[in-house]
Amino acid sequence: MNQERIAAREDTVIATLTDQGLIRVSGKDAATFLHNLLTNDILQLPEGQARFAGFCTAQGRLIATLTVWRNGDDFLLLVSADILHNLLKKLSMFIFRSQVKLSEVSNRVLIGLSGSETSFPCVMPDEGQILQWGERRLCVTPSVAESVITVDCSVWAWLDIAAGRPRIVAATQEMFIPQMVNMELPPLDGVSFKKGCYPGQEVIARTQYLGKVKRRMVRAKLDKELPAGTNVFTPESGEQHCGALVNIAPSPEGGFECLVVVQVSGFEAGEVHVGAPNGPQLSFLPLPYPIQ
C-alpha cells in the first residue's frame, strides 16, 4: 500500500473515489437555488469549470464542503459519501416553491487522476466529464487505460491533504466556519464576499472584515491514526481543546498526515497534542499556500 502513495507522489495514478458521492441539482431554478445556499458564486459558474464551496448553518458552521460544476442544464455536487443522504435532506428543506429537483447520482463512477502526464489516455462515454485542478483530474464515468497505476481512494485523500484542501465528513459537521479551514484563501477560493445572502453569511462576513481568525487549518504528521474530529490541545489551552483534526490519511513517508484546525497562537508556539493535553504531538508540515 505504501508503494501506492509513493507512486502518487511521483507518477500518474488512478483512484476510484468510493468515499465520495454525487448529488444532482436540476430544474430551471437550480442555479439560483444553489447560489442562495452556498458560500461561493454559482450564478457566474461557467461551463467546464468547477468551484469549491461550503454549505453552512445559520451560525456559519460548515455542514459540507462541495465541489460544484455544471452538467448540461444541471449541477453536480461532489461531497463526502458519509454525509450525502443527510445533506440531501437538509438541502431539500430549502426548496419551498423553487422548481428544483435533488437526487443522488448512483449510475456514475468517480475516478481521480493525479500526475503530470499530459497525454494520459482517457476515453469518455456519453455524458462523461473531466474536471481538472492543476495536475489532478476528476473523471465522471470514464473508461480509462489499464496501463496506469491504480491506487486506493485513501491515496486521493492524502493528495487532498498535501494540497491543503479540506473535506467535511460526518464527524466534523458544524465544527468549523469556512475561514478556519482556509476556504477564503485564493488557492481554495471557496467563499465569495461579493454575492448576496446565504445561510451563515453574516457570521462569515463579520469574521472576514471585523474579526480575526483565531483558529486556522495547518498540515501536520502523526505516528498513529486518529479519527477526524479528534480534539487537539496546547499547553496554552490546558484541558480546553483548541481545535480538531479535519482529515487524516497514510503518508508516503510512513505514519499519517493530517489537516488540523488549531488555535493560531498554539501552532506558532509549536506544541500541539491530539486527543488529550498529553496525547501524541503533531509534527508540522508546510502547506502549498501561505496562511494570511
pLDDT score of 212: 81
Q: Is residue 22 part of a domain?
A: no
Measured distance CA(79)–CA(89) in Å, rounded: 14
Q: Which are the contacts of 218, defined by CB distance < 8 A and separation ≥ 6?
A: 259, 260, 262, 267, 284, 287, 291
Q: Is residue 264 part of a domain?
A: yes
Q: Show the domain range for 225.
A: 162-279
Q: Is residue 137 part of a domain?
A: no
pLDDT score of 148: 55
Q: What is the Cβ-side half-sphere exposure of residue 250, based on CA atoms within 13 angstroms?
A: 14
Q: Is residue 120 part of a domain?
A: no
Q: Is residue 204 part of a domain?
A: yes
Q: Which are the contacts of 50, defined by CB distance < 8 A and separation ≥ 6?
A: 67, 68, 69, 131, 133, 138
pLDDT score of 121: 44
Among 113, 157, 172, which residue's Cα sits nearest to residue 251?
157
- Give the number of other CB atoms < 10 A from CB of residue 56: 25
For residue 242, the domain's CATH number is 2.40.30.160
What are the CA-CA distances from residue 99 to residues 30, 55, 74, 93, 94 (Å)?
Answer: 7, 20, 12, 13, 11
Residue 290 carries which side chain, given as an amino acid letter?
Answer: P
Q: Is residue 82 part of a domain?
A: no
| pLDDT averaged per 10 residues in sequence order, the chain, 292 residues | 67 85 97 98 90 97 96 94 97 95 89 65 54 76 55 90 97 98 96 95 93 92 96 94 97 94 92 95 96 80
pLDDT score of 222: 96
Cα dihedral sign for 233, 235, 239, 241? negative
Domain total in the chain:
1
pLDDT score of 119: 44
How far is C-alpha 73 from the geometric centre of its chain's CA atoms?
Answer: 24
User: Which three cell numbers, joined as nine digits, stand for 68?
Assistant: 460544484
Q: Is residue 46 part of a domain?
A: no
Q: Is residue 174 part of a domain?
A: yes
pLDDT score of 13: 79
